[in-house]
């Protein structure tokens, strides 16, 4: 529910068309402080994925294509678990702003239980994907490469869901540096063991794609252990350690987190599906096109991780404002976050457009893949405005705990519009990879309009 209005009624409404403000220095400062560590951590994760793709691509183009398809499927499941854990942000952030420490721990304990159970359910669904791989129209020579890679990824999922619960907690209590630090250590670990296991260095056998999977598994275990060490040893968390035994797992908290978490998870899952599920269409065209798509997803992730860092900070900041009933702060934080993301989008998309003919060379020496990537940069640039708006206001709504409509709007934008349009433009009209990617601007722009409209409605200030 939106926050109540408090304080003096005389103020500027940042989204009132009759009295518009676009400059919020206090919010920029706080969002930068919260968002920069999140962004650095996300960039580190993206660099890890880039390193995975570069190393796997150098080892074998077929392995790059196989990893690309599995990653496209796995990221859908991964986003379900990440989205589910995000449901705790609105609860923990609001309680933290009101200094209700014991209740904050109640939510943490409940989120650890709820996230783990949801992760097991997602892992079961991934087992069905394993069985169905031969029936998804992919090149037959890639199936033996896909299967062991997918199995190891599934085994690492419980580690990730527990890490996700701890990350949402530390971020929501204004300590975003923790996740940044432990994730960067895990990323360095992953890159090092990629080098060792993929190519067979330091006495280890050359394992190729399977080696990349084991490197990822070990890095996720290291990240979870580091999070646990921070909670047990860092002085800032002493008050939480002292009260830990008094915190209770309440049925009502589990139900609330389940309701919020599934709405966010399905919403994020449908968004990612508009990108990942098109890998099936691309696989029908050929291995080279699928490899180019994987390169483009890596580039997209670079831009989106910058967006997501600021947008995640928006969710945290909105939850804090909402917790103390500051509706003006809710609107200012959301608009300030969008302004920051808009500026980032201009810089990043312009840079990638200028380098469109050289980018693929970082991943593969295949000239055909490079040529396809250069054409796909055009739709990448086109959808940046819509992407920036939708990620900002989706996270603002998550910070408010208003997530039910997000699922409906995502279904319209991504399942009704984006995915079918990809099929029509790319397959029926023979537009190839370019046609498939040209559907993304339409889907993301639709989501942007719907999310912004909902935010304006639920954050409307009484009497304005």
Q: At what angle do helices 287-323 and 384-400 cross, to 10 degrees?
A: 40
Place of tokens 């702003």: 97
The whole-number pLDDT of residue 15 equals 46
Q: What percent of the chain has pLDDT over 90?
A: 45
Assign 3-class secondary structure to the chain. Answer: CCCCCCCCCCCCCCCCCCCCCCCCHHHHHHHHHHHHHHHHHHHHHHHHHHHHHHHHHHHCHHHHHHHHHHHHHHHHHHHHHHHHHHHHHHHHHHHHHCCCHHHHHHHHHHHHHHHHHHHHHHHHHHHHHHHHHHHCCCCHHHHHHHHHHHHHHHHCHHHHHHHHHHHHHHHHCCCHHHHHHHHHHHHHHHHHHHHHHHHCCCCCCCCCHHHHHHHHHHHHHHHHHHHHHHHHHCHHHHHHHHHHHHCCCCHHHHHHHHHHHHHHHHHHHHHHHHHHCHHHHHHHHCHHHHHHHHHHHHHHHHHHHHHHHHHHHHHHHHHHHHHCCCHHHHHHHHHHHHHHHHHHHHHHHHHHHHCCCCHHHHCCCCHHHHHHHHHHHHHHHHCHHHHHHHHHHHHHHHHHCCCHHHHHHHHHHHHHHHHHHHHHHHHHCCCHHHHHHCHHHHHHHHHHHHHHHHHHHHCCCCCC
pLDDT bucket at 146, cuts 50 / 70 / 90: confident
Least confident segment among 23-27, 36-40, 261-265, 460-464: 460-464
Is residue 186 within 8 A of residue 223, CB to CB? The reply is: yes
Is residue 264 within 8 A of residue 403, CB to CB? The reply is: yes
Least confident segment among 26-40, 56-70, 121-135, 447-461: 56-70
Q: Write the pLDDT tens digit of every residue in 61-76.
A: 777 778 877 877 777 7
Q: Which residue has the higher pLDDT, 396 or 370?
A: 396
pLDDT bucket at 12, cuts 50 / 70 / 90: very low
The whole-number pLDDT of residue 93 equals 93
pTM comes to 0.81
Q: Write the pLDDT tens digit of every residue in 351-385.
A: 888 888 878 777 777 888 888 888 888 999 999 99
The whole-number pLDDT of residue 462 equals 67
The whole-number pLDDT of residue 463 equals 58
Mean pLDDT score across all residues of the chain: 86
Across residues 129-141, what is the average pLDDT?
Answer: 78
The whole-number pLDDT of residue 464 equals 58
Is residue 320 within 8 A of residue 398, CB to CB? The reply is: no
The whole-number pLDDT of residue 21 equals 62
């Amino acid at each position: 529910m939106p926050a109540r209005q408090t304080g003096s009624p005389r103020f500027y409404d940042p989204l009132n068309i009759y009295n518009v403000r676009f400059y919020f220095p206090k919010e920029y400062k706080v969002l930068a402080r919260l968002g920069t560590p999140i962004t650095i951590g996300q960039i580190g994760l993206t660099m890890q994925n880039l390193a995975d793709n570069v190393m796997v691509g150098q080892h074998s183009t077929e392995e790059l294509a196989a990893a690309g398809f599995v990653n496209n499927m796995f990221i859908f499941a991964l986003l379900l678990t990440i989205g589910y854990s995000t449901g705790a942000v609105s609860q923990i952030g609001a309680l933290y702003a009101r200094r209700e420490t014991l209740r904050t721990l109640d939510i943490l304990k409940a989120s650890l239980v709820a996230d783990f159970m949801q992760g097991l359910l997602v892992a079961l669904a991934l087992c069905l994907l394993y069985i169905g791989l031969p029936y998804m129209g992919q090149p037959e020579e890639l199936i033996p490469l896909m299967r062991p890679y997918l199995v190891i990824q599934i085994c690492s999922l419980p580690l990730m869901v527990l890490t996700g619960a701890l990350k949402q907690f530390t971020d929501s209590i204004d300590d975003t540096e923790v996740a940044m630090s432990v994730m960067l250590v895990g990323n360095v670990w992953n890159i090092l063991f990629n080098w060792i296991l993929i190519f067979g260095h330091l006495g280890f056998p050359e394992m190729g794609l399977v080696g990349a999977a084991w490197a990822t598994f070990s890095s996720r275990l290291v990240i979870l252990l580091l999070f646990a060490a921070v909670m047990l040893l860092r002085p800032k968390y002493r008050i939480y350690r002292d009260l830990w035994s008094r915190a209770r797992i309440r049925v009502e908290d589990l139900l609330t987190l389940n309701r919020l978490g599934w709405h966010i998870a399905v919403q994020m899952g449908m968004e990612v599906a508009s990108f990942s599920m098109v890998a099936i269409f691309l696989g029908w065209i050929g291995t080279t096109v699928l490899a180019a798509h994987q390169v483009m997803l890596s580039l997209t992730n670079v831009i989106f991780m910058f967006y997501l860092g600021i947008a995640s900070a928006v969710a945290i900041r909105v939850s804090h404002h909402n917790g103390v009933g500051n509706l003006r702060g809710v609107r200012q934080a959301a608009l300030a976050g969008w302004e920051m993301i808009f500026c980032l989008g201009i810089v990043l998309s312009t840079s990638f457009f200028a380098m469109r003919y050289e980018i693929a060379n970082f991943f593969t020496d295949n000239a055909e893949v490079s040529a396809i990537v250069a054409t796909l940069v055009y739709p990448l640039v086109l959808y940046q405005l819509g992407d920036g708006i939708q990620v900002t206001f989706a996270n603002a709504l998550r910070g408010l705990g208003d997530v039910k409509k997000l699922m409906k709007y995502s279904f319209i934008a991504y399942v009704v519009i984006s995915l079918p349009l990809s099929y029509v433009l790319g397959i029926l009209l023979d537009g190839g990879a370019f046609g498939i990617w040209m559907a993304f601007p339409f889907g993301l722009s639709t989501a942007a309009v719907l999310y912004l409209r909902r935010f304006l409605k639920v954050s409307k200030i009484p009497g304005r």
